[in-house]
A and B are shown apart, each in its own frame.
Chain A
Amino acid sequence: DAKTTQPNSMESNEEEPVHLPCNHSTISGTDYIHWYRQLPSQGPEYVIHGLTSNVNNRMASLAIAEDRKSSTLILHRATLRDAAVYYCIEGAQKLVFGQGTRLTINP
């Protein structure tokens, strides 16, 4: 079962940064932290993943706490297209999805 904890919902404004938190207190030393998002009526979409160091890609940044018990997905300038359910997943063996955070972007 899902071992991560995320807020059920968050809201932000267009063109502002969004910080989506995730707690993964039972993560093992070799488990990667993955983030996926699911837009309405679509399959999940990979966002980013990392192990220990902070990671950046064209979509987002991932900030991982030093003890690896938590991480934050950062969308630098949110657009309306970023409205989705965001899932934080520890490990990848079964990609166990929790309920995720439903992100609403206000125009």
Chain B
Amino acid sequence: KAGVTQTPRYLIKTRGQQVTLSCSPISGHRSVSWYQQTPGQGLQFLFEYFSETQRNKGNFPGRFSGRQFSNSRSEMNVSTLELGDSALYLCASSYYLLAGGRDEQFFGPGTRLTVL
């Protein structure tokens, strides 16, 4: 079974631009979550999508948004990029909603975003 895939793996943008990252979950998984990882803040939850609906959201500004398609693939978008948005963006999938707590998450390799 193929794992979680994320594209692109590396991205360089400049301040003010916007970016879209893509995530393909494991086949059959309906929940996709996104995380931001930085050396200073560690791993922080962005949001979770399940059946094309956002089910949970972390404490990030509205510049961070996402969506999920009917095939469970997900995209996240960051508008008006800031230097502080430079980070590793990780996507994870699971069969059940996170809220149940009973399921494991499978993480992708991440997209390394650098904002200049």
Contact = CB atoms under 8 A, between A and B. Distances in A.
Interface in B83-116: 90, 92, 98-110
A94 B107 contact: no
B101 A98 contact: no
B72 interface: no
Interface string A65-87: 00000000000000000000001
A92 B98 contact: yes
Given A43-B109, A44-B90, A30 B101 contact: yes
Contacts of A10: none
Interface of A: 30-32, 34, 36, 42-46, 49, 87, 91-100
Contacts of A46: 104-106
Interface string B1-23: 00010000000000000000000
Size category of the B interface is 20 to 34
Contacts of B90: 43-44
A93 B56 contact: yes
11 contacts: A34-B104, A43-B107, A45-B107, A46-B104, A49-B101, A87-B43, A92-B101, A93-B99, A94-B98, A95-B45, A97-B44
A44 B43 contact: yes
Contact of B101 (A32, A42, A45): A32
